Amino acid sequence: LAFSEKAEILASADDWKKARDVRNQINHEYEENENVLAPLIAEMANCVPTLFLIHDRAAAYCTDRLGVRRADA
């Protein structure tokens, strides 16, 4: 995470940690009660824009710094 921050892939490691923590909560939540799961799923949905930004920055880093081209490019 420290490298990703330094490489400006992550604006903050906290962004990644938040998404990871929510994902872990969902993954370990065995309740079938929608009142328990719905808020977790909504919170994960709120993380989606940040995750797409991280993806785009990581792809740009790989292209710009490592010379790796996207398969779909």
How much is the pLDDT for 34?
82
Distance CA 7, CA 39 (A): 33
Q: Which of 8, 6, 1, 2 is nearest to 58 (CA)?
A: 8
pLDDT in tens, 1-45: 999 999 999 999 999 999 999 988 888 766 677 888 889 889 999
Residues contacting 41, CB < 8 A, separation 6+: 26
Structure-token pair, residue 23: 């994902």
For 35-65, write each residue's pLDDT tens digit.
888 898 899 999 999 999 999 999 999 999 9
pLDDT of residue 11: 92
